[in-house]
Structure 1
């Protein structure tokens, strides 16, 4: 693939309409354990109906639309319908608690929200209502003044919310010609992915339609995704890896999407066997779980041909086992971050196992990668430094946050990733550390500053510092070093139980150690290197 990029579609709605014609009779989505099967022509019709309903609800180009729900056909339909109406999608992490979701909705100024009913035993609607108040005539949630409508992706909805059925019915008076007349240029924003930085304050990376499409057309090309592939999407849709490397990539190639709302090894094994799955991306922990599951040999996994992983250290033994034990033809690793459309480097088909395991591959076409010293000087191969990225994939900036944007995005286009890495002589990148102290829990990014801010709200916590520690199952988990307030008898179990009520599960520290004080340098900053050296369960 050359650095230039040409495609028959310049926006996501154009891609949806193109795929509905080109792959009309091809199975697009298999949902609900195989009970629901939709062709690409059928998906196109569903998306057009959802777009009409968005217009009927007053959504206009540039409006933000939130979606807080697990992987499903309805998620795909709602999201693509919103962007087809010209909206900017704001995906919310399904592990969020109500207050966390409300904060993102408030800061993005979301006008419309799609929300699941009950998921994993939790009512997301009730959680939001506790965080943002009860509905009234002005809107469904008084604490979110910009929100004009909220749609529950189920058959039941409380007062001031719409059911999915009622929402779709509201668009019946909007003609197809009106929907198709909405002009969405490639330069328009397609989504805002909220992530956290060193300050712990969520920041929304603004990405355009053209950036998303070029990045994941490239991903599909480099991975070798093709028409007829059956793609089990376990990666959550709220994450770029699930939505864009999943849904958008499949649309470009006519692959079949099989969304799985929650990762469970046995369910994944059954899905691979029953649906003859050929493509399965995911974090290394997913594949370790599949390979080590006692029922693995009871399932026919011979259809698998492509695995893409990353987000953590990939053991060479894992690559070898995927090839030897499962017969997977192609195993690739990649690296990306939300601020760069989620995609920066990737291994190539044919790379030896040592390169796949030890690196995240080379820069994708149209993208440059540098490693620099603290003063910005370029470093030679083999020398660790901060990873910088420049190219078509770099975000337009953080949503309504020019100061934060200026901190990471230079006038000449170079993006500071905050990651420490090493380039080899062939240009393969190996991530070795994180300037931002981020650690990865089973594929989910955990940001210590954000977790520290939440823990500091506990009345018995005087000071706290969080670091990532190795975990044999999840890759890394959080450990909190806590200074109690005078007279407090707070225990580790108490704080962990409190944390489970206040934050997403992957953010909850698995270990708590009480200390008389935190190590600090001469300027008063906590020396986390000392804590990491002392860490361990």
Structure 2
């Protein structure tokens, strides 16, 4: 069913969905079940609280929390109040989150309490200072005026979720409607920070119009339906989890079942109990489902649509999903945050060999070319409505990444076949993928050399049977140091997100470099 063309911003979509699918089940989060009308009401209340707290159009609002109903309400409420959403990676440590908060100039932060045994509040307070200063809850983040903890408890200088929502209870509904009406298709809707080869996070700015057009296209190509029940394991802080998950469901009236972290047992239980029909995710997710020894005890018969990508997809995986689970549609796709998260996508009638060996063809309204003759690897370039407005506050990085005539340099190496299907063959920027998360060697290297006993470091991705790839570090120790690999790995776990942590360390007297001083990563990979 095609949605109404009357919406061109996210808040218009939310209101439209609340009316169009009013009695339909919108979100199932644990024991909480709400309809689309109920979701719309919660979003309006959150937006009112944002306005009551002084939020202005264009202010940045960050969310640092796992997939949940509260994440959806907080994010959509902030955007409905005119804010620009800044999702934060839940794998970040406090210093990493504080850096993005500082660089984005976020005025408001929604943060989870404890997740996976870690107090995010305590982590942030350690990184950014504890106790109010000059009217700010965190001294090291002067732009951040308010921190809302998505739980019933919060430090004195922060607010609980309940306290925050109560702020807007006396605000007339028309105030929220008037604020939302200020937004247009060209208004920025979100900034997704993604690391590059320099290791410095860069925020890709995407507008409301770009977002909605891209994921209406995604929903059409994937064949998402109103009757679908969508298990959203892809994290909301990632473009795909939020936009191909939450926003695509709003467009089609599908039911969202957010899962905060991937465990195969929880996923199997959710699929069976909630009659899941749509399950996007990286290949490792689907491989673990297929290989689980207790798979046969779960009813997985409702699964009909799987979308994967982000790594090489074995043909056997596509065939097993179709043959063993009777999944009607298996699709692969390719995207990056700088291109609204979507560049190419397979079509539903493509043969299994095309789906497994390529990432499909450019989505309508966009162009893809490779800086090499047909059939030869070259850098992948993208142009079209999906290309970002630029990197937030970083014109130099923007000009390096985007050409004057609108082409986005992806940094990925690929090959186009005669039918226009793209196959990603390498990563120009040395990025590798750990269980579906992008890991950037330069960023990991930058952190490793801050260790007092490390003078130089280089990181490469190496195969891993469970996660696809993991980091291996080649490290030059400071003379006289007795640093061990276990010591450095333990230190890394304290200083960086888990998916970035090297799983192995090899100490070397020096790194191989070319005449210009660049590390020869090819030689290091050959040693693995």
User: TM-score normalised by the shorter chain: which range applies?
Assistant: over 0.9
2:493 aligned with 1:500: yes
TM-score norm. by structure 2 comes to 0.98
Equivalent position SS for 1:530: helix
Structure 2: 5+ residue runs without aligned partners?
A: none
Shift of 1:186: 1.0
Counterparts of 2:509 and 2:467 in 1: how far apart (Å)? 29
2:457 aligned with 1:464: yes
Aligned pairs for 1:337-416 within 5 A: 337-373=336-372, 379-380=373-374, 382-416=375-409
**What is aligned with 2:173?**
176
Counterparts of 1:254 and 1:29 in 2: how far apart (Å)? 10
Tell me the number of residue pairs that the alignment of Structure 1 and Structure 2 aligns. 525
Equivalent position SS for 1:181: helix
Counterparts of 2:144 and 2:131 in 1: how far apart (Å)? 11
Counterparts of 2:6 and 2:119 in 1: how far apart (Å)? 42
Counterparts of 1:156 and 1:174 in 2: how far apart (Å)? 25
Shift of 1:8: 2.3
TM-score norm. by structure 1 comes to 0.97
Residue 520 of structure 2 is aligned with which of 521, 524, 527? 527
Equivalent position SS for 2:219: helix
Counterparts of 1:462 and 1:407 in 2: how far apart (Å)? 29
Shift of 1:173: 1.9
Residue 163 of structure 1 is aligned with which of 147, 160, 173? 160
Equivalent position SS for 2:338: helix
**What is aligned with 1:515?**
508
Q: Which runs of 4+ in 1 moved over 2 A?
A: 5-8
Counterparts of 2:379 and 2:307 in 1: how far apart (Å)? 25
2:140 aligned with 1:143: yes
Deviations 1:396-443 (A, max 9, x none): 000010000000101111000000000000000000001110000000
Equivalent position SS for 2:415: strand
2:12 aligned with 1:14: yes
Deviations 1:187-226 (A, max 9, x none): 0100000011111110000000000100001000000001
Counterparts of 1:388 and 1:251 in 2: how far apart (Å)? 31
Shift of 1:286: 0.3
Counterparts of 2:400 and 2:318 in 1: how far apart (Å)? 37
Aligned pairs for 1:215-254 within 5 A: 215-254=214-253
Counterparts of 2:137 and 2:38 in 1: how far apart (Å)? 31
Counterparts of 1:31 and 1:513 in 2: how far apart (Å)? 44
Structure 1: 5+ residue runs without aligned partners?
A: 374-378
Equivalent position SS for 2:359: coil
Shift of 1:6: 8.1
Counterparts of 2:4 and 2:368 in 1: how far apart (Å)? 23
Residue 47 of structure 1 is aligned with which of 39, 43, 49? 43
Question: RMSD in angstroms over aligned alpha carbons?
Answer: 1.2
**What is aligned with 1:482?**
475
Counterparts of 1:136 and 1:476 in 2: how far apart (Å)? 42
